[in-house]
Amino acid sequence: MTVELLATDLDGTLLRSDRTISARTSEAIAAAQASGIEVVWATARARHSIDELAASCGFRGKAIGANGAVVLDLADGTPVVIETTGIESDVVTTAMTRVRELVPGVAFATVGPTRFVAQHDYAAMCVFADHHRHPHEMDVSVDVLPAASEQTVKIVARHPELASVDLFHTVMAAGVGGVELTHSGAPYIEMSAAGVSKASALSVLCAELGIERSAVAAVGDAFNDLPMLRWAGTALTTANARTEIKAVAHRVLHSNDDDGVAGYLEELVAGRR
């Protein structure tokens, strides 16, 4: 079946290693949209950094953020939140308690549609690139994570000594109830409400657009992309992706630094001509 929609991860996939969108990729997205192909960004990133990237390249489509917990419409050049799926406050507390029991020393932050609330120890481990926020731009608590004034859509956790991928495997093996645990390749693990993923948000969006699953291609490079790749009719990854991701892909594109997604979009547009 002809691909009608391409859902693409950002970091490590659409973006180059310097976290920019190349001119070739911007042009390929615009050409695909002009030819009738829907392009959807699907990322772990928050609203503000999606907005900045969209502004840098003129993207005016839909974006799935926070690993599926937030859906944005950038049609008018601003990131309008059209859907959120939060984690109940008691589940947030229970999940953090469970992870602390499994790996003592873990620090946490909670992410809302617009707010970022971090424990002091968490903020102390951060650099700007981690969340596209400077530590002083976070709402910080010394001892106890405060209740956010808005819905929590994601919990993030990191350890001062244990690598994030090792933390992910440790917690995944033991299990945490009520949340969807994943890892995007960042220096922390991420938890959304149970059942929430890039795939769950993408399936709802496609239903609203009247696009069949078989007409969807998805591309990603990390563990948080697996549900989306398994759901889509065509699963794609990039040459720089983890081995586990390549194992489920129908095709491996050129690397993110070689504009692999742009090359695929160019093929789709040429096929329509």
pLDDT digits (tens, 9 = 90+) for 250-271: 999 999 999 999 999 999 999 9
Instruction: Report, in angstroms and rounded to the nearest whole number, the Rg of the chain calculated over CA atoms.
Output: 18
Question: If one looks up domain 89-193 in CATH, what number appears?
Answer: 3.30.1240.10
**What residue ranges do the domains of the chain occupy?**
5-84+196-272, 89-193
Q: How far is CA 185 from CA 31, 239, 251, in A?
A: 30, 15, 21
Query: Coil, strand, or helix at residue 28?
Result: helix
Judge whether 151 and 84 are in contact, CB under 8 Å.
yes
Name the percent of the chain in helix, strand, coil, to the closest 5.
Answer: 40, 25, 35
On the question of pLDDT at 143 being above 70, the answer is no
pLDDT (tens digit per residue) in 27-71: 999 999 999 999 999 999 999 999 999 999 999 999 999 999 999
CA distance 101 to 105: 9
Predicted pLDDT of residue 5: 98
Residue 67 near residue 228 (C-beta atoms within 8 A): no
Nearest to 219 by CA among 2, 79, 11: 11
Task: Tell me the pLDDT tens digit for each residue of 184-210.
Answer: 999 999 999 999 999 999 999 999 999
Q: What is the CATH topology of the domain spanning 5-84+196-272?
A: Rossmann fold (3.40.50)
